[in-house]
Homo-oligomer: A and B are copies of this chain.
Amino acid sequence: MQGRLVECVPNISEGRRPEVIESVVAAVRDTAGVRLLNVQSDESHNCSVITFVGDPNACGQAAVALALRAVEVIDMRQHKGEHPRLGAVDVIPFVPISGTTMEECVALARRVGQEIWAALGLPVYFYAEAAASPSRVRLPDIRKGEFEGLPEKMAQPEWVPDIGERRPHETAGAVVVGARRLLVAYNINLNTTDVTVARAVARAVRESSGGLTNVQAMGVVAASGWAQVSINLLDLGRTPIARVFDLVRVEAERYGASVAESEIVGLVPLDAILDVARAYLRLRAFERTQVLEALLME
Protein backbone atom coordinates (compact mmCIF):
# COMPACT_ATOMS: atom_id res chain seq x y z
CA MET A 1 0.00 0.00 0.00
CA GLN A 2 1.44 3.34 -1.06
CA GLY A 3 2.42 6.30 1.07
CA ARG A 4 -0.54 8.62 0.34
CA LEU A 5 -3.02 7.63 3.01
CA VAL A 6 -6.39 8.82 4.20
CA GLU A 7 -8.35 7.22 6.99
CA CYS A 8 -12.14 7.05 6.86
CA VAL A 9 -14.17 6.28 10.01
CA PRO A 10 -17.87 6.14 9.09
CA ASN A 11 -20.53 5.52 11.70
CA ILE A 12 -23.57 3.51 10.62
CA SER A 13 -26.84 3.18 12.58
CA GLU A 14 -26.77 -0.58 13.08
CA GLY A 15 -24.96 -2.27 15.95
CA ARG A 16 -27.09 -5.33 16.60
CA ARG A 17 -27.79 -7.42 13.48
CA PRO A 18 -24.47 -8.99 12.37
CA GLU A 19 -25.72 -9.80 8.84
CA VAL A 20 -26.70 -6.16 8.25
CA ILE A 21 -23.38 -4.86 9.59
CA GLU A 22 -21.45 -7.40 7.51
CA SER A 23 -23.36 -6.41 4.39
CA VAL A 24 -22.29 -2.77 4.84
CA VAL A 25 -18.71 -3.72 5.75
CA ALA A 26 -18.54 -5.89 2.61
CA ALA A 27 -19.08 -2.78 0.48
CA VAL A 28 -15.81 -1.44 1.90
CA ARG A 29 -13.98 -4.74 1.66
CA ASP A 30 -14.97 -5.07 -2.01
CA THR A 31 -13.53 -1.67 -2.96
CA ALA A 32 -10.08 -1.93 -4.55
CA GLY A 33 -7.31 0.12 -2.94
CA VAL A 34 -8.69 0.36 0.59
CA ARG A 35 -7.85 -1.73 3.60
CA LEU A 36 -10.41 -2.46 6.29
CA LEU A 37 -8.75 -2.02 9.69
CA ASN A 38 -11.50 -2.35 12.25
CA VAL A 39 -15.24 -2.76 12.84
CA GLN A 40 -16.53 -1.84 16.29
CA SER A 41 -20.21 -2.46 16.99
CA ASP A 42 -22.08 -1.26 20.06
CA GLU A 43 -25.36 -2.97 20.89
CA SER A 44 -26.71 -0.36 23.31
CA HIS A 45 -25.80 2.52 21.00
CA ASN A 46 -27.03 0.37 18.11
CA CYS A 47 -24.33 1.70 15.82
CA SER A 48 -21.02 0.52 14.31
CA VAL A 49 -17.81 2.39 13.61
CA ILE A 50 -15.95 1.10 10.54
CA THR A 51 -12.30 2.08 10.07
CA PHE A 52 -10.52 1.80 6.74
CA VAL A 53 -7.58 3.44 5.00
CA GLY A 54 -6.35 3.89 1.46
CA ASP A 55 -5.46 6.55 -1.04
CA PRO A 56 -7.92 9.47 -1.16
CA ASN A 57 -9.76 8.33 -4.31
CA ALA A 58 -10.20 4.76 -3.14
CA CYS A 59 -11.42 5.94 0.28
CA GLY A 60 -13.95 8.19 -1.43
CA GLN A 61 -15.25 5.31 -3.54
CA ALA A 62 -15.46 3.01 -0.53
CA ALA A 63 -17.35 5.67 1.45
CA VAL A 64 -19.92 6.10 -1.33
CA ALA A 65 -20.30 2.32 -1.70
CA LEU A 66 -20.78 2.04 2.06
CA ALA A 67 -23.44 4.78 2.02
CA LEU A 68 -25.34 3.10 -0.82
CA ARG A 69 -25.36 -0.23 0.99
CA ALA A 70 -26.28 1.28 4.38
CA VAL A 71 -29.26 3.13 2.92
CA GLU A 72 -30.36 -0.10 1.23
CA VAL A 73 -30.31 -2.24 4.39
CA ILE A 74 -31.05 0.18 7.27
CA ASP A 75 -34.46 1.70 7.88
CA MET A 76 -34.24 4.51 10.42
CA ARG A 77 -37.98 4.37 11.04
CA GLN A 78 -37.29 1.12 12.92
CA HIS A 79 -34.09 2.27 14.64
CA LYS A 80 -33.68 2.64 18.39
CA GLY A 81 -30.39 3.29 20.22
CA GLU A 82 -28.67 5.32 22.96
CA HIS A 83 -26.36 7.21 20.64
CA PRO A 84 -27.53 10.40 18.86
CA ARG A 85 -27.86 9.84 15.10
CA LEU A 86 -29.21 11.64 12.07
CA GLY A 87 -29.40 8.83 9.55
CA ALA A 88 -28.62 5.33 8.33
CA VAL A 89 -25.06 6.32 7.47
CA ASP A 90 -24.72 8.86 10.21
CA VAL A 91 -21.32 10.45 9.77
CA ILE A 92 -18.40 10.00 7.36
CA PRO A 93 -15.16 11.67 8.53
CA PHE A 94 -11.99 11.69 6.43
CA VAL A 95 -8.66 11.99 8.25
CA PRO A 96 -5.30 12.83 6.60
CA ILE A 97 -2.77 10.21 7.70
CA SER A 98 0.39 10.53 5.63
CA GLY A 99 1.32 12.25 2.41
CA THR A 100 -2.11 13.88 2.35
CA THR A 101 -3.35 17.26 3.56
CA MET A 102 -6.42 18.47 5.39
CA GLU A 103 -7.33 20.46 2.27
CA GLU A 104 -7.43 17.23 0.24
CA CYS A 105 -9.67 15.62 2.84
CA VAL A 106 -12.02 18.62 2.80
CA ALA A 107 -12.20 18.41 -1.01
CA LEU A 108 -12.77 14.65 -0.75
CA ALA A 109 -15.60 15.15 1.76
CA ARG A 110 -17.27 17.67 -0.55
CA ARG A 111 -17.02 15.32 -3.55
CA VAL A 112 -18.32 12.34 -1.60
CA GLY A 113 -21.23 14.46 -0.35
CA GLN A 114 -22.12 15.39 -3.95
CA GLU A 115 -21.97 11.78 -5.07
CA ILE A 116 -24.11 10.53 -2.20
CA TRP A 117 -26.77 13.13 -2.91
CA ALA A 118 -26.71 12.36 -6.65
CA ALA A 119 -26.95 8.60 -6.10
CA LEU A 120 -29.37 8.45 -3.18
CA GLY A 121 -31.21 11.74 -2.79
CA LEU A 122 -29.82 11.80 0.75
CA PRO A 123 -29.31 15.38 2.04
CA VAL A 124 -25.77 16.19 3.21
CA TYR A 125 -24.33 18.38 5.99
CA PHE A 126 -20.60 19.14 6.03
CA TYR A 127 -18.91 19.32 9.45
CA ALA A 128 -15.56 19.86 11.22
CA GLU A 129 -12.89 21.18 8.83
CA ALA A 130 -15.31 20.78 5.92
CA ALA A 131 -18.03 22.87 7.60
CA ALA A 132 -19.52 25.68 5.51
CA SER A 133 -20.23 27.80 8.62
CA PRO A 134 -19.09 27.93 12.27
CA SER A 135 -22.48 26.66 13.49
CA ARG A 136 -21.89 23.42 11.59
CA VAL A 137 -18.40 22.63 12.88
CA ARG A 138 -19.49 20.51 15.84
CA LEU A 139 -21.16 17.16 15.22
CA PRO A 140 -23.47 17.35 18.31
CA ASP A 141 -24.98 20.62 16.99
CA ILE A 142 -25.82 19.00 13.65
CA ARG A 143 -27.13 15.82 15.25
CA LYS A 144 -29.40 17.71 17.68
CA GLY A 145 -33.02 16.66 17.16
CA GLU A 146 -31.81 13.40 15.62
CA PHE A 147 -33.48 11.47 12.80
CA GLU A 148 -36.96 11.95 14.25
CA GLY A 149 -36.57 15.74 14.43
CA LEU A 150 -35.14 16.17 10.92
CA PRO A 151 -38.33 17.42 9.14
CA GLU A 152 -38.70 20.20 11.71
CA LYS A 153 -34.97 20.99 11.80
CA MET A 154 -34.60 21.20 8.03
CA ALA A 155 -37.54 23.59 7.86
CA GLN A 156 -35.45 26.14 9.77
CA PRO A 157 -33.48 28.54 7.51
CA GLU A 158 -30.24 27.92 9.50
CA TRP A 159 -30.44 24.17 8.91
CA VAL A 160 -30.86 24.07 5.13
CA PRO A 161 -28.63 21.15 4.10
CA ASP A 162 -25.32 21.94 2.40
CA ILE A 163 -26.30 19.67 -0.49
CA GLY A 164 -29.77 18.42 -1.41
CA GLU A 165 -33.37 19.31 -0.79
CA ARG A 166 -34.91 20.57 2.46
CA ARG A 167 -36.51 17.26 3.40
CA PRO A 168 -34.99 14.11 4.87
CA HIS A 169 -34.65 10.84 2.98
CA GLU A 170 -37.66 8.78 4.07
CA THR A 171 -35.73 5.80 5.50
CA ALA A 172 -32.18 7.16 5.77
CA GLY A 173 -32.59 10.71 7.13
CA ALA A 174 -29.48 12.74 6.37
CA VAL A 175 -25.72 12.22 6.38
CA VAL A 176 -22.92 14.27 7.89
CA VAL A 177 -19.67 14.25 5.91
CA GLY A 178 -16.45 15.98 6.91
CA ALA A 179 -12.73 16.10 7.46
CA ARG A 180 -10.96 16.16 10.78
CA ARG A 181 -7.55 15.53 12.29
CA LEU A 182 -6.52 12.19 13.70
CA LEU A 183 -7.16 11.94 17.42
CA VAL A 184 -4.71 9.89 19.46
CA ALA A 185 -5.56 8.70 22.97
CA TYR A 186 -2.53 8.80 25.27
CA ASN A 187 -2.37 7.91 28.97
CA ILE A 188 0.44 8.75 31.37
CA ASN A 189 0.58 6.88 34.69
CA LEU A 190 2.21 8.62 37.66
CA ASN A 191 3.93 6.72 40.45
CA THR A 192 1.37 7.89 42.99
CA THR A 193 -2.09 6.65 43.93
CA ASP A 194 -3.18 10.24 44.71
CA VAL A 195 -5.63 11.13 41.94
CA THR A 196 -5.58 14.80 42.98
CA VAL A 197 -2.03 15.01 41.61
CA ALA A 198 -3.17 13.60 38.24
CA ARG A 199 -6.04 16.10 38.20
CA ALA A 200 -3.71 19.03 38.95
CA VAL A 201 -1.31 17.90 36.22
CA ALA A 202 -4.20 17.48 33.75
CA ARG A 203 -5.36 21.04 34.47
CA ALA A 204 -1.82 22.30 33.91
CA VAL A 205 -1.28 20.64 30.55
CA ARG A 206 -4.67 20.91 28.81
CA GLU A 207 -5.80 23.69 26.50
CA SER A 208 -9.01 24.50 28.37
CA SER A 209 -7.21 25.61 31.54
CA GLY A 210 -4.04 27.34 30.38
CA GLY A 211 -1.92 24.47 29.09
CA LEU A 212 -0.97 23.22 25.64
CA THR A 213 -3.15 23.79 22.60
CA ASN A 214 -4.64 20.69 20.95
CA VAL A 215 -4.58 18.80 24.25
CA GLN A 216 -7.54 17.52 26.26
CA ALA A 217 -6.71 15.91 29.60
CA MET A 218 -8.26 14.69 32.82
CA GLY A 219 -6.98 13.05 35.96
CA VAL A 220 -8.36 9.58 36.70
CA VAL A 221 -7.51 6.42 38.62
CA ALA A 222 -6.13 3.79 36.24
CA ALA A 223 -7.26 0.16 36.39
CA SER A 224 -3.89 -0.57 38.04
CA GLY A 225 -4.73 1.83 40.89
CA TRP A 226 -2.17 4.46 39.90
CA ALA A 227 -3.10 8.08 39.25
CA GLN A 228 -3.37 8.62 35.50
CA VAL A 229 -3.37 11.67 33.26
CA SER A 230 -5.72 10.59 30.46
CA ILE A 231 -5.09 12.63 27.33
CA ASN A 232 -6.50 13.23 23.86
CA LEU A 233 -3.99 14.60 21.37
CA LEU A 234 -5.90 16.54 18.73
CA ASP A 235 -3.14 17.72 16.40
CA LEU A 236 0.10 15.75 16.58
CA GLY A 237 1.68 17.87 13.86
CA ARG A 238 1.43 21.02 16.00
CA THR A 239 1.53 19.64 19.53
CA PRO A 240 3.63 16.47 19.42
CA ILE A 241 3.71 13.62 21.93
CA ALA A 242 7.18 14.46 23.28
CA ARG A 243 6.12 17.99 24.29
CA VAL A 244 3.08 16.67 26.14
CA PHE A 245 5.06 13.89 27.86
CA ASP A 246 7.73 16.30 29.08
CA LEU A 247 5.25 18.88 30.34
CA VAL A 248 3.38 16.18 32.26
CA ARG A 249 6.71 14.99 33.69
CA VAL A 250 7.71 18.50 34.80
CA GLU A 251 4.28 19.36 36.24
CA ALA A 252 4.16 16.05 38.13
CA GLU A 253 7.56 16.83 39.68
CA ARG A 254 6.02 19.89 41.37
CA TYR A 255 4.08 17.41 43.51
CA GLY A 256 7.00 15.08 44.06
CA ALA A 257 5.49 12.63 41.58
CA SER A 258 7.13 11.17 38.48
CA VAL A 259 6.04 9.38 35.34
CA ALA A 260 5.92 5.62 35.85
CA GLU A 261 4.92 4.74 32.29
CA SER A 262 2.80 5.88 29.39
CA GLU A 263 0.53 4.19 26.89
CA ILE A 264 -0.56 5.00 23.36
CA VAL A 265 -4.10 3.66 22.99
CA GLY A 266 -4.87 2.24 19.58
CA LEU A 267 -3.36 3.44 16.33
CA VAL A 268 -0.80 6.17 15.82
CA PRO A 269 0.70 7.42 12.54
CA LEU A 270 4.36 6.71 11.84
CA ASP A 271 5.13 10.44 11.60
CA ALA A 272 4.17 10.91 15.26
CA ILE A 273 6.66 8.23 16.30
CA LEU A 274 9.38 9.69 14.07
CA ASP A 275 8.75 13.03 15.79
CA VAL A 276 9.42 11.37 19.17
CA ALA A 277 12.79 10.14 17.89
CA ARG A 278 13.56 13.54 16.36
CA ALA A 279 12.78 15.31 19.64
CA TYR A 280 14.73 13.13 22.04
CA LEU A 281 17.70 12.28 19.81
CA ARG A 282 17.85 15.89 18.55
CA LEU A 283 17.82 14.48 15.04
CA ARG A 284 18.35 16.87 12.18
CA ALA A 285 17.25 16.00 8.67
CA PHE A 286 15.79 12.64 9.57
CA GLU A 287 13.45 11.57 6.80
CA ARG A 288 10.62 9.07 6.76
CA THR A 289 12.28 7.32 3.81
CA GLN A 290 15.24 6.41 6.06
CA VAL A 291 12.96 3.97 7.83
CA LEU A 292 13.37 0.79 5.86
CA GLU A 293 9.76 -0.30 6.13
CA ALA A 294 8.51 3.18 5.15
CA LEU A 295 10.78 3.19 2.11
CA LEU A 296 9.18 -0.08 1.05
CA MET A 297 5.78 1.61 1.05
CA GLU A 298 6.86 4.36 -1.35
Contact = CB atoms under 8 A, between A and B. Distances in A.
A155 interface: no
B1 A296 contact: yes
A19 interface: no
A242 B245 CA distance: 16
Interface of A: 1, 5, 7, 35, 37, 53, 97-98, 241-242, 245, 259-264, 266-270, 273-274, 276-277, 279-286, 290-297
Contacts of A1: 296-297
B290 A264 contact: yes
A268 B291 contact: yes
Given A245-B281, A263-B285, A293 B270 contact: yes
A282 B294 contact: no
A53 B297 CA distance: 12
Contacts of A242: 280-281
27 contacts: A1-B297, A5-B293, A37-B295, A53-B292, A98-B293, A241-B277, A242-B280, A245-B280, A260-B282, A261-B282, A263-B286, A264-B283, A264-B290, A267-B295, A268-B290, A269-B293, A270-B270, A270-B293, A273-B273, A273-B277, A273-B291, A276-B276, A276-B277, A276-B281, A277-B277, A293-B294, A293-B297
